Amino acid sequence: MKKIKLLVSLGLVLVLILSIVPTYANEKGETEEKSTIEILEENLATEDFSEDEKNVINEMIKAKKETEKQVLESLKVADKEAKEKIKKNKKYLIDEETARKQEALGFLETSASSTITLSLGNPFTFTYAAEGKNGGSKTGVVTTYGSSYDLNKARNLTNSETVGTGNATGWAWTGRRFIISGTGSKTAYFSIEGDYIGYLLSGGRGNVSQLSNEFRLYNATTQSWVSTKNITLDTVTMENESSLVGTFNKSNLITATLQAGHEYVILMQTDAYTYSTLGTSIANIKDSHYSQWKSVKLTY
């Protein structure tokens, strides 16, 4: 397994020269089935890094944990909004038969923010997003981020930019909410297909620019994560830039036990992260760039 590789150049700040994943295996940015935080923390615990190297990795972990906190809070807000919508109008709670008919029609404004009921053991294919959230965080004086989402196209649109010293993260997620009916529990598998177009610029020797897509399952009943898996993770460092164009088709990426009576959200989250010590760093998957999922399949 490949390790995180870093170096110190001419007594300056360290430079990350490979993607921060142990298996940066191909051009599409495909990674092993772990979350970014798990990969970073595992490497810190097992590898012999210098203090400078540890500081940069810890900054990335800190930023990612702040993003995780914000995303979880956004889902709790979405939980309340979903309940309020159903309370005001029962049309936002859709049975399985109606849901299958709506999937055939594609995205409609009337089906946005809806919760569907699925029978335990029945496969289902989601073809459009019905809810999403976005946000971000930053440190430093000249740092910016932006984020939004498009339910119609199931697109996440994020960007971040740092100039001088600091870091920034823009994040967005889109997905579908469903309740499992029936009795007992059953092992389920989630697959995802989609594509993305992005741009990365690292304008300084100690800078990092990164775009990531993660596939996530959230349990709205317990308000906790069930599973997080990497879809793509692309990184540029050391005064480089990269235009990204990729597709992904991940079969059975998430394996989870679904419990009857529980409510879930299956989603794709996109993060644009930049870290700078000098110069400018840009991570862009917004405007003419995007990250989108085309289908999410639930099977047993």
Full pLDDT tens readout for the chain, 300 residues = 333 333 333 223 333 333 333 333 333 343 446 777 777 787 778 777 777 667 777 888 888 889 999 999 999 999 999 999 999 888 889 889 888 888 877 766 666 778 999 999 999 999 989 999 999 988 877 778 889 999 988 999 988 888 878 888 999 999 999 999 999 999 999 999 999 988 888 777 677 888 889 999 999 999 999 999 989 888 777 777 778 888 999 999 999 999 999 999 999 999 988 887 777 778 776 667 889 999 999 999
Which residues are registered as beta bridge partners of 209? 236, 274
Q: What is the pLDDT of residue 109?
A: 66
The predicted structure's pLDDT at residue 22: 32
Alpha helices in the chain (DSSP H): 36-46, 51-88, 96-105
Query: 244 lies in a domain?
Result: yes
pLDDT at 237: 74
282 located within any domain: yes
The answer to whether residue 100 is domain-embedded is yes
Is residue 158 within a helix (H) or strand (E), and if so which, with residue range? strand 155-163
147 found inside a domain: yes
Domain containing residue 233: 6-299
pLDDT of 50: 72
Structure tokens at 37: 């935080």
Give the chain's domain count.
Answer: 1
The CA-based diameter of the chain, rounded to the nearest angstrom, is 65
Closest CA to 200 of 166, 147, 244, 238: 244
- Reading the block at residue 191, the tokens are 């697959």
Tokens standing for 148?
A: 């939004």
> Would residue 1 count as lying in a domain?
no
Note the pLDDT of residue 294.
94
d(CA 30, CA 23): 8
Q: What is the DSSP letter of 22?
A: T
In a domain, 33, yes or no: yes
- Tally of CB atoms within 10 A around 101: 10
Nearest-CA neighbor of 94 among 176, 197, 3, 18?
A: 176
Give the C-alpha distances (Å, rounded to integers) separating 262 from 71, 217, 286: 20, 12, 34
Please tell me whether residue 102 adopts helix, strand or coil conformation: helix
**CB within 8 Å of 270: residues ≥ 6 apart:** 156, 157, 158, 171, 172, 173, 196, 211, 212, 213, 214, 285, 291
Whether residue 242 lies inside any domain: the answer is: yes
Say what the pLDDT of residue 54 is. Answer: 76
In a domain, 66, yes or no: yes
